[in-house]
Amino acid sequence: MLANDDFNSPSTACEMDLRVVVIYVILSTCGVSGVLQKGHEPPEFLHGSETKTSISRKGAILRLRCSVSANPPADVTWYRYDEEVVEDRKKIRMRVGLNHNALTIRDLDSLDSGDYICSASNRYGKITKTYTVSVVDCYLTDSQPLQPRAITVVPPKLQVRCGDTAVFKCNYKSDFNSHIQWLLEVPANSTSRYDPTSILSVHSKSYVVLESTAHNDDVLRLPNVTRAHNGKIVCLAANTFGYGYNSTVVQVLPQSGLPAFVDELEDLSVSTSAPNFTLTCVARVPLDLGYYLQWEKEGEPIDPEVFVFHHLNQSRVVDACVEEISSTMTISPLVQGHWLSAREGGQYNCLVQNKTGSTIMYGQATVTFQENANDNEASKSQSAIVSLTPRRVTVQEGDSVSIYCHVRGEKKPLFAWLVKPDTSVPVCDIRHTLLIDYISYRLVGSGETWSRDEMNHLNILQLDDVSMEHAGTYLCYVVQSGAREETTLTVLPRNVGPRVIAPFMGNRSVTVGENSVLQCRAESDNTPTVQWYKEVEEGYSDETRSLFGMAVVSLGFPDPVWETAGTYLSLYSFRDGVKVSDQGKYLCVWSNGGGQDYDQGYLRVRVRQ
């Protein structure tokens, strides 16, 4: 844990593998020769021209980087005391890239002290940088600490709204040049959101490096703060002799602001021959601030028990601070046993409200109706059901099914599909019911109609991803004539095996004596069992068996832990500390009546030095 008491404790480079070398540069520019052509440019250093000095400890590795921009590309040469530096595989290495050149010196000693010059030139000019290097013995006394110390972060606490800009300053004392790095502490349950290679581990805590838009590394500037910045931000100051750190606590508040409609509600003109009409309200609200949405007609709340056939609210995160809410409402008076009429017309409002000043916004839509009573009456006596297929169908959960209703009549009829639910299966929503011959049916929808000719019409009810709740008696109902036919749908449970899910076990490395836990997760439609195994050599014992092409020995059947709906967790703990003999490959095997799945990982055990 990063504790304030640790910030100024001595940490030397002799005790740690922290190699931070800050190079100070001397820049001198020579005269330009030649006439510049279009697109050409003389050499220019990419990382400043100020004069600096580097102090490195004896035995360390020193890297001098020289980044140059030029067109045509510059020739780069390293000099020491006017003599060209020659590469030596054991001590001196050179690395050349597109715009950079690096000089690496290994196993530093006092003879390596001095000035190192990077010379870059093309036909349009020549520039040089001088690196002054001093190599000292690694020492540390109470009266002369070398590593950064007295580190503070300003402000020590900060409240900032989502989307705003946050600025922090890291103050510290150091006798030598230091490098600053800003880190964000990542909660243990959130590390899976980041690239594993970007996560740093310090004192058993996980951190990621923050990118700043500030010009100086001792200032952290974060534009457009998000919820991910909520928590602890650490300033880590380091030089070649050690490091120190301190932190600030950030609380990200919801973005202030009022709801805003994405689109205005559109006026509708609906025929009374239509089975229903739909209104959609889309608004954007600040994330985490909360909101309230309600539909009204003529200023009064709409009773979903009376007119609403379908009402669905959905939301999605637009950016780090804003979410978009969408409410879809389908009006169908069939829930009261009649078709649409002019009385369903009028002024409809979508009301959206949040906590910012209790502001209320109204989106308005006017619905008008055109009567087609004569057409409906003329076709009423003509419409009759010719066939309904299939009359009985049995499917498994997850399958799809189509039910065809063939009607003969002079006018294209209006259809309604109703279902009398299977009483043995609990139904989540039974509010929208319609009484036909004293039998309660629930409205499913209107299907999709095709007219083969003026007299023959086909309506299809399509049910995808069938669940147990779909089981029941379905009724094809012709609104104009009242004609109806029934079919029975039986749904059988699908037996599916468990499925291993992320985060996976993976490979781990621990030290002897540590208390370690292996985790294994799976999804299952019913409660699974889990068994743990360890891979062993063939003939290890009488308990050895072959599993997935490996020789394994059983470690037991721990009870799985229910996490969320359909998700289970199993833990295998080394309660008395990990031993060297615990090293090896581990498997967890999930099973239920439908099959099995497994996860595996390798545990590497290090001996404590």
pLDDT, tens only, 163-181: 889 999 999 887 777 788 8
The confidence score (pLDDT) of residue 275 equals 63
Render pLDDT for 202-240 as a digit per residue (tens, 0 to 9). Answer: 777 888 888 888 877 889 999 888 888 889 999 988 876
Contact 259, 291 (CB under 8 A): yes
The confidence score (pLDDT) of residue 570 equals 93
User: Once rounded to an integer, what is the mean pLDDT over residues 312-324?
Assistant: 81
Distance from C-alpha of 357 to C-alpha of 529, rounded to nearest angstrom: 53
Note the Cα 229 to chain centre separation in Å.
14
Fold for the domain defined by 149-253 = Immunoglobulin-like (2.60.40)
Q: Which residue has the tokens 């959960």?
A: 397
The confidence score (pLDDT) of residue 153 equals 93
How does residue 358 score in pLDDT terms, banded at 50, 70 and 90?
low
Render pLDDT for 296-310 as a digit per residue (tens, 0 to 9). Answer: 888 888 876 666 666
How does residue 12 score in pLDDT terms, banded at 50, 70 and 90?
very low
Answer whether residue 249 shows pLDDT above 90. yes
Answer whether residue 430 shows pLDDT above 60. no
Buried b (16+ CB within 10 A) or exposed e, 274-312: bbbbebbbbbbbbbebebebebebeeeebeeeebbbbee
The confidence score (pLDDT) of residue 26 equals 29
User: Once rounded to an integer, what is the mean pLDDT over residues 409-429?
Assistant: 70
Answer whether residue 328 shows pLDDT above 50. yes
The confidence score (pLDDT) of residue 35 equals 60
Of 68-72, 331-335, 585-589, give the lowest mean pLDDT range: 331-335
The confidence score (pLDDT) of residue 220 equals 93
Answer whether residue 64 shows pLDDT above 80. yes
Of 173-187, 361-375, 577-591, give the lowest mean pLDDT range: 361-375
Answer whether residue 311 shows pLDDT above 80. no
HSE on the CB side for 479, CA within 13 Å?
Answer: 28
How does residue 599 score in pLDDT terms, banded at 50, 70 and 90?
very high
Contact 409, 383 (CB under 8 A): yes
Contact 507, 583 (CB under 8 A): no
Percent of the chain past pLDDT 90, that is, above it, reads: 16
Burial class (CB in 10 A: 0-12, 13-18, 19+), 542: exposed
User: Once rounded to an integer, what is the mean pLDDT over residues 108-137?
Assistant: 86
Answer whether residue 339 shows pLDDT above 70. no
Render pLDDT for 521-577 as a digit per residue (tens, 0 to 9). Answer: 999 878 889 999 998 876 656 677 888 778 888 888 888 888 877 899 999 998 888
Where exactly are the structural domains of the chain?
Answer: 10-136, 149-253, 260-371, 379-492, 499-606
Answer whether residue 429 shows pLDDT above 60. no
The confidence score (pLDDT) of residue 168 equals 95
Distance from C-alpha of 210 to C-alpha of 544, rounded to nearest angstrom: 50
How does residue 259 score in pLDDT terms, banded at 50, 70 and 90?
confident
Identify residue 33 by its one-letter amino acid code.
Answer: S
Q: Does domain 499-606 have CATH number 2.60.40.10?
A: yes
Q: Does domain 260-371 have CATH number 3.30.70.360?
A: no
Contact 330, 276 (CB under 8 A): yes
How does residue 447 score in pLDDT terms, banded at 50, 70 and 90?
confident
Answer whether residue 29 shows pLDDT above 70. no
Buried b (16+ CB within 10 A) or exposed e, 523-539: bbbeebbbbbbbbbeee
Distance from C-alpha of 348 to C-alpha of 298, rounded to nearest angstrom: 6
Q: Tell me the backbone φ, ψ of residue 403, rounded to 5 degrees.
A: -120, 130
The confidence score (pLDDT) of residue 147 equals 78
How does residue 20 score in pLDDT terms, banded at 50, 70 and 90?
very low
Distance from C-alpha of 91 to C-alpha of 243, rounded to nearest angstrom: 27
Q: Is 334 helix (H, G, I), strand (E, B) or coil?
A: helix
The confidence score (pLDDT) of residue 18 equals 31
Strand segments, DSSP code E, in 318-455 are: 322-331, 346-353, 360-370, 384-389, 392-396, 401-408, 415-421, 433-436, 439-445, 448-451
Look at residues 185, 157, 190, 156 and name the one whose alpha carbon lies nearest to residue 171: 156
The confidence score (pLDDT) of residue 305 equals 61
Same fold, 149-253 and 379-492: yes
Of 434-448, 489-503, 580-594, give the lowest mean pLDDT range: 434-448
Answer whether residue 31 shows pLDDT above 70. no
Answer whether residue 589 shows pLDDT above 90. yes
Q: Is the Cα torsion angle 193, 194, 195, 201 positive or negative in sign?
A: negative
Q: Is the Cα torsion angle 108, 110, 111, 112 positive or negative in sign?
A: positive
> CATH homologous superfamily for 10-136?
Immunoglobulins (2.60.40.10)
Distance from C-alpha of 552 to C-alpha of 508, rounded to nearest angstrom: 19
Render pLDDT for 390-404 as a digit per residue (tens, 0 to 9). Answer: 888 888 788 889 999
Q: Which residue has the higher pLDDT, 428 or 602?
A: 602
Average model confidence (pLDDT) across the chain = 79
Q: Is the Cα torsion angle 465, 466, 468, 469 positive or negative in sign?
A: positive
The confidence score (pLDDT) of residue 33 equals 44
The confidence score (pLDDT) of residue 359 equals 63
The confidence score (pLDDT) of residue 21 equals 31
Distance from C-alpha of 235 to C-alpha of 464, rounded to nearest angstrom: 54
Fold for the domain defined by 379-492 = Immunoglobulin-like (2.60.40)
